[in-house]
Amino acid sequence: MSERDAAKCSDVVILTTTGRELDALLEVDTGAVPCTAWEVGSGPGGLRLARREFLGYPHALRVAAAALGDMTEEAAAVHTLVLVSALEAQCVAVCGACSARGDQVWFGDVAVADRLLHHEPDRRVPERTQHDLAAYRLRDDWRAWLEGVDVLAAFRDADWLARRPLTTQWRERRALAAFHAGVVDPSRAVDPRLEPWRSVDPVLDAREWRAIMRKLRSRQSLELTRRSLSERGDHALAALLLEQDMASELAELLREYGGELPDLSPTGALQPFRLHIGPLQLGRRPIDDGADAPAALHAIGELAAQQTLAAVLAALAHRQRQHQLDLVVLHSVAELADHDRDRQFEPFIARAVAECALWFVRQRVVPRQADPA
């Protein structure tokens, strides 16, 4: 292979299911060759394609990335195979989002699929596609490495991990504790220059803080109404009753967690950032359909997007057998069976799977060296 031809090739192609995920991927600099940046242009078939080199062993790892977007399943499969063939990629990583259930899973965790299951009761899936999806298996050596890796050790000091937000419920609980401790007064206007939300959640901004204040003030009004206090009532009594309510709610919360608010950081004991390995389910099936469901992880997306992803993975799995193509599927947890979806997690969720995908391929894919011209 000539140097000119080698420049057109990539060792790894990363496919994202949305443009948001691709944008998050282009924010990743960790492990990149110094003094380089993502170069975005047009790839085979006119597909938007980003390229960058990352530090690898024994040579730089050439990475290309593209988003499937809202293509039909046929178009996505064709574009993907053309892209992978034109770049002569040896590994494809597919990134997306999934829903999950279980006590050991939290928003933003990343799951690596060891199997792909397809279930679609409303549409007959061709036998070949079912067979192709069943043929996908995470490489045994990759699975063994993932099972032994300490993901927190890999990312403990990363800025993106420290920016994992709290849920709305926990933000309100932390605000309640801050009010009770006298850090802020919910009955008074707050000077935004003081940034009192930093004691509640460092990721909070002024707009989100105002929303929490409005919600807690509405709770205050509700408590006053329950006591039939008139608009001209005893404000000292109202403040005392509110303080008692807050103290009671906070005391109950502290009892639940052993006397102090828990560490909710991604490196803490209660909700640590985790990497999961398990089957990923494609197609229409609820995530809470019983403990005997075949998969705890379910890809998120409209039915059309599910079929697109299924078609692409089926095509790649078929090519894998023919051309020794390595394939890995990573999804970040965006929905939980027993929690409401928190939109504030979306930027973190996209960034987490992007960081993990690039981290994984840097660790496990050996770059090829171009033959002399």
pLDDT band at 311 (very low <50, low <70, confident <90, very high): low
**Taking CA 316 as the corner, what is the angle to CA 313 and CA 92, rounded to the nearest 5 degrees?**
95
Residue 60 has pLDDT above 60, yes or no: yes
Domain 3-163+273-364, CATH class in plain words: alpha beta
* DSSP track, 168-204: HHHHHHHHHHHHHTTSS-TTS---GGG-GGGGT-TT-
Give which of 146, 158, 95, 166 is closest to 350, Cα–Cα.
95
Cis bond upstream, residue 372 (ω within 30): no
Model confidence at 237, pLDDT cuts 50, 70, 90, reads very low
Pairing of strands 39-42, 48-54: antiparallel
**Side chain identity at residue 33, one-letter code:** V
CB 245 within 8 A of CB 219: no
End-to-end CA distance of the chain: 6
Strand pairing class (12-16; 91-100): parallel
pLDDT band (50, 70, 90) for residue 102: confident
Fill in the amino acid letter for 14.
I
d(C-alpha 345, C-alpha 349), whole Å: 6
Helix (H, G, I), strand (E, B) or coil at 299: strand
Q: Which SS3 state, helix, strand or coil, does residue 233 take?
A: coil
Using pLDDT thresholds of 50, 70 and 90, give the confidence band for residue 370: very low
Q: What is the pLDDT of residue 280?
A: 82
Q: In the predicted model, what is the mean pLDDT of residues 329-343?
A: 83
pLDDT tens-digit series, residues 8-49: 789 999 999 888 999 999 999 999 999 999 999 988 877 889
Q: Which ranges in the chain are annotated with CATH 3.40.50.1580?
A: 3-163+273-364
| CB atoms inside a 10 Å sphere around CB 247 | 12
Question: According to the model, what pLDDT value does residue 54 have?
Answer: 96
With vertex at residue 114, the alpha carbon angle to CA 133 and CA 13, rounded to the nearest 5 degrees, is 75
Could you report the per-residue pLDDT of 109-152, keeping only the tens digit for each? Answer: 999 988 877 655 544 444 444 434 555 788 999 999 999 999 99
**How far apart are the C-alpha atoms of 141 and 154, rounded to whole Å?**
19
